[in-house]
């Protein structure tokens, strides 16, 4: 990846639906060059998807939380099985398998704190492999819209 590729990736992360002509003008190259380089970024797996971001509050899910989960026994099958289970739950936005005292970090969005309590008690703690969990309500979630290559 050179500076042009990095500029194309950065601009497409800001708005993945922009026209090739606009993209080319923004990075200062001919439209044919922008198209060729963008296609190569897709082919090489640097660009992997275009996503629409939804307002969770307007979807009726204004309360977000991060739930750390400790599992037992410690095995690949248990961790992967639990990961796959939580990904089927509609409240779950993201799952991170982690190191340290907890095995997973589960990011959820729900309608209310009562719904959060019910989710934790009804969906998570009833699982035999859950040895412990901690729930933290998210006050604010800010996302960096552009991820750049380091180094």
Q: What is the pLDDT of residues 29-47, one digit of tens each?
A: 999 999 999 999 999 999 9
Is residue 43 within 8 Å of residue 64, measured between CB atoms? no
User: Strand pairing partners for 130?
Assistant: 71
- 54 lies in a domain? no
Q: What is the pLDDT of residues 110-140, one digit of tens each?
A: 999 999 999 999 999 999 999 999 999 999 9
d(C-alpha 76, C-alpha 25), whole Å: 49
* Same domain assignment for residues 72 and 125: yes
Tokens of 15: 């708005």
* pTM assigned to the model: 0.85
Which residue range forms the structural domain that includes residue 94? 63-138
* Same domain assignment for residues 73 and 120: yes
85: confidence class by pLDDT, cuts 50, 70, 90: very high
* Same domain assignment for residues 32 and 69: no
- What local confidence, expressed as pLDDT, does residue 26 receive? 97
Spacing of C-alpha 144 from chain mean position: 12
- 57 lies in a domain? no
């Amino acid at each position: 990846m050179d500076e042009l590729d990095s500029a194309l990736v950065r601009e497409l992360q800001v708005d993945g639906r922009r026209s090739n002509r606009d993209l080319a003008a923004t990075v200062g190259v001919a439209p044919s060059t922008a198209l060729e380089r963008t296609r190569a970024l897709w082919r090489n797996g640097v660009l992997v998807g275009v996503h629409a971001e939804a307002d969770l509050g307007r979807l009726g899910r204004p309360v977000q939380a991060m739930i750390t989960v400790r599992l037992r026994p410690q095995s690949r099958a248990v961790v992967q099985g639990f990961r796959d289970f939580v990904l089927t739950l509609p409240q779950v936005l993201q799952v991170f398998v982690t190191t340290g005292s907890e095995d997973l970090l589960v990011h959820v969005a729900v309608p209310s704190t009562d719904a959060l309590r019910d989710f934790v008690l009804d969906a998570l703690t009833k699982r035999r492999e859950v040895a412990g969990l901690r729930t933290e309500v998210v006050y604010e979630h800010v996302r960096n819209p552009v991820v750049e290559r380091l180094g």
